[in-house]
Chain A
Amino acid sequence: MDLENQKRVKEFTEEYGAENIVVLLGAAEGEASGLAAETVTAGDPTFAGPLTGVSLGLKVYHVCEPEIKELIDEAVYEEQISMMEMVLDVDDIISEMTAIRDEFCKY
């Protein structure tokens, strides 16, 4: 994850409290989703950014996961996401995201 984004995630978590924050991802693939999710839960796996060694354990989802999709206004989802959902391998994304949450999410 981009270093500036890691810095912002860390600062907002300190400001609002980890339990009040949800991170939503839009990555193009399962593996990239998993890496971003790992960064905001277990810490930066690439050891490059401000979240290196910082385990925030934040709640994190990909926007195409069913838990999130069902909360979004149907018309808005249709307009913003639906066609891209057809392009992405959503099953792969779900399995990567679930694995990371099961292991590292604290909330």
Chain B
Amino acid sequence: MNSVVKGTGYILVHTPDMIMRNGTTQTTEMIVNPGSEYLKELPNHIRTYDQAVNYYPNQTYIGNMTPAELAAIEGPWYDKPMENAPRYGKFGEIMPEAEFYLLMQTCDVFDLMRLHKDFVAEHLEAFKANPIIDETIVARVNAGVEQDEIEHFVNDEHAEGIYYNDKLVGYLKRAHDVDVNLSAHVMLENIVSKASSVLATLYAVQNAGINKEDVDYIIDCCEEACGDMNQRGGGNFAKATAEIAGLVNASGSDVRGFCAGPAHAIVDAASLVKSGAFKCVIVSAGGCTAKLGMNGKDHVKKGLPILEDVLGGFAIVITENDGVSAEINLDMLGKHSVGTGSAPQAVISALVTQSLDKHGLKITDIDKYSPEMQNPDVTKPAGAGDVPLGNYKMIGALAVKRGEIDKKDLASFPAKHGMMGWAPTQGHIPSGVPYIGFAREEIMRGEIKKAMIIGKGSLFLGRMTNLFDGMSFVMQTNTAAEAQAAAGVSEDEVKVLIGKALKEFAANLIAE
């Protein structure tokens, strides 16, 4: 039987101080053009935490509004605040920077990161008050250090400074004096990724209504690499995340594929479960400091706020079929192969129609497509266009070519089979996966039957190949009853199974 999506977690972290110090657009500018107008002007374009929370696309990401509700508000959205929007949502939360620094410190197992004792004292209560942060994590908080120690490591020991409201409040030091793979810069990126992955994983476990002990395996699919000079990408974020999140029975590994990583990882996870190797697998990923303010030059030039001011994270819980949850159909996979080439139409055909053709289905038989759900507020002013819309136009054009829709219906195809993008440009974060939480609910409510999740990856950026990459899979209405009936299981047995699963589902809803 197919595996199911049992629950999802989606989190954002507002990190205004990391934009200038850790975003590569800014750090590169500091090297090549230190006195530039851009660097002078940037601080005037930073959003407050409240502004980031009151932003419709961010509220969509954490599940407080649906993609349909977002699409009903005409963009751009950055100048239309949602007043008094909540921090917490159905899928997760938007964590403020100070609390995230505490979470980062708890995720550091090598005594690399220390915060000022006053800073810890000031923010510890808020950190503890977050219902998702349990006592084992709180117990990992270090009481903090004096300013002298912070300044010593930042000034004399190549540590990365940790800043809050532009003030030095901590350090994250290198893990080796010579090895660049363990430099303070790399360790900071990796601990940020790990901490945001931990947060998303905690929400996914809670939302799925499972126990932490139930998780057999976790697959990390972010775009960072951890290791040392003898094994630069040795790994593994997954198990490191599971340790802090308390998934005591889980092992894990990392899967990489640039922005297509999540789609590959979910197919792997669904395969592990369907094969019977494991009963419960989590796919998770944290966020990326390097991409903060990536398109900032264009945003500042056009008088917009720096919209790339949040880290993203997500986690998807995939389990054995429970009779009710939306399924992952492994008979409907699409993949970009070595021989596919890089022509956009070849790429999209490989990803979209490969699996449809196998089952004699039409493009219009998929109710919703979730390709790359980048927020157009971010990409349009930067000259990358409206990425999801571009994908929908391509899929629509394919449907016209195949004679499945009329050319006159091409204009309405994106709204009917697609959505407006809402995810931050954090590479792997927008790549198909932001819709999985909504798709699960829409499928279970009977609003849609099939959704295709599409991940695409720019492998060529690694300079190891000039190839592109992509992977797609289909989520669908649960077919357990049909499958069991076909296998000779009695209707009564099926009813008992479904009744049990529905009870669990209802209990989770109440718990929410």
A3 contacts which chain B residues (CB < 8 A)? 28, 32
Against A, the Cβ 8 Å flags (1 = close, 0 = not) of B1-44 are: 00000000000000000000000000011001100101000000
- Given A3-B28, A48-B29, A48-B33, are A83 and B383 neighbors across the interface (CB < 8 Å)? no
Determine whether the beta carbon of B344 is less than 8 Å from that of A84: yes
Determine whether the beta carbon of B383 is less than 8 Å from that of A87: no
Determine whether the beta carbon of B32 is less than 8 Å from that of A86: no
- Given A27-B383, A28-B383, A46-B297, are A80 and B28 neighbors across the interface (CB < 8 Å)? no
Smallest CB-CB separation from A27: which chain B residue? B383
A31 contacts which chain B residues (CB < 8 A)? 383
Which B196-224 residues have C-beta < 8 A from chain A?
none
Question: Is B412 among interface residues, defined by CB-CB distance under 8 A?
Answer: no
A95 vs chain B, min Cβ distance (A): 15
B326 vs chain A, min Cβ distance (A): 30
A48 contacts which chain B residues (CB < 8 A)? 28-29, 32-33
Against A, the Cβ 8 Å flags (1 = close, 0 = not) of B382-395 are: 11110000100110
B79 vs chain A, min Cβ distance (A): 20
Determine whether the beta carbon of A87 is less than 8 Å from that of B384: no
Size band of the interface chain A makes with B? 10 to 19
Against B, the Cβ 8 Å flags (1 = close, 0 = not) of A50-94 are: 000000000000000000000000000001111110110000000
Determine whether the beta carbon of B384 is less than 8 Å from that of A28: yes
Question: Is B451 among interface residues, defined by CB-CB distance under 8 A?
Answer: no
Against A, the Cβ 8 Å flags (1 = close, 0 = not) of B280-307 are: 0000000000000000010000000000
A-B contact count (CB 8 A): 48
Partner of A32, one of B28, B38, B383, B398: B383
A40 vs chain B, min Cβ distance (A): 16
B397 contacts which chain A residues (CB < 8 A)? 83, 86-87
- Given A80-B343, A81-B343, are A28 and B28 neighbors across the interface (CB < 8 Å)? no
A87 contacts which chain B residues (CB < 8 A)? 344, 390, 393-394, 397
Question: Is A9 among interface residues, defined by CB-CB distance under 8 A?
Answer: no
Q: Chain B: interface secondary structure?
A: helix
The docked-state distance in angstroms from the alpha carbon of A48 to that of B348 is: 34
Question: Is A47 among interface residues, defined by CB-CB distance under 8 A?
Answer: yes
Smallest CB-CB separation from B393: which chain A residue? A87
Question: Is B345 among interface residues, defined by CB-CB distance under 8 A?
Answer: yes
Question: Is A29 among interface residues, defined by CB-CB distance under 8 A?
Answer: yes
Question: Is A105 among interface residues, defined by CB-CB distance under 8 A?
Answer: no
Determine whether the beta carbon of A84 is less than 8 Å from that of B33: no
Question: Is A37 among interface residues, defined by CB-CB distance under 8 A?
Answer: no
B26 vs chain A, min Cβ distance (A): 11
The docked-state distance in angstroms from the alpha carbon of A80 to that of B349 is: 12
Which A10-32 residues have C-beta < 8 A from chain B?
27-29, 31-32
The docked-state distance in angstroms from the alpha carbon of A29 to that of B383 is: 6
Which B321-357 residues have C-beta < 8 A from chain A?
343-346, 348
The docked-state distance in angstroms from the alpha carbon of A79 to that of B345 is: 8
Smallest CB-CB separation from A82: which chain B residue? B345
The docked-state distance in angstroms from the alpha carbon of A87 to that of B395 is: 10
B94 vs chain A, min Cβ distance (A): 29
Q: Which of B29, B32, B348, B401 has the most CB of A within 10 A?
A: B32
B343 contacts which chain A residues (CB < 8 A)? 79-81
B384 contacts which chain A residues (CB < 8 A)? 28-29, 32
B29 contacts which chain A residues (CB < 8 A)? 48
B56 vs chain A, min Cβ distance (A): 23
A2 vs chain B, min Cβ distance (A): 10
B36 contacts which chain A residues (CB < 8 A)? 47
B398 contacts which chain A residues (CB < 8 A)? 83
Determine whether the beta carbon of A84 is less than 8 Å from that of B345: yes
The docked-state distance in angstroms from the alpha carbon of A82 to that of B401 is: 12
Which B378-429 residues have C-beta < 8 A from chain A?
382-385, 390, 393-394, 397-398, 401
Determine whether the beta carbon of A83 is less than 8 Å from that of B345: yes
A63 vs chain B, min Cβ distance (A): 12
Determine whether the beta carbon of A84 is less than 8 Å from that of B394: yes
Question: Is A35 among interface residues, defined by CB-CB distance under 8 A?
Answer: yes
B340 vs chain A, min Cβ distance (A): 12
A84 contacts which chain B residues (CB < 8 A)? 344-345, 394
6 more CB-based (< 8 A) A-B contacts, given A28-B390, A81-B343, A87-B394: A32-B382, A46-B38, A83-B394, A84-B344, A84-B394, A86-B393
Q: Which residues of A contact B (CB under 8 A)?
A: 3, 27-29, 31-32, 35, 46-49, 79-84, 86-87
Query: What are 7 A-B pairs at a CB distance below 8 A?
Result: A3-B32, A29-B384, A48-B29, A79-B345, A79-B346, A81-B343, A83-B401
Q: Which residues of B contact A (CB under 8 A)?
A: 28-29, 32-33, 36, 38, 297, 343-346, 348, 382-385, 390, 393-394, 397-398, 401
The 4 closest A-B pairs by CB, nearest first: A32-B383, A83-B345, A28-B385, A80-B343
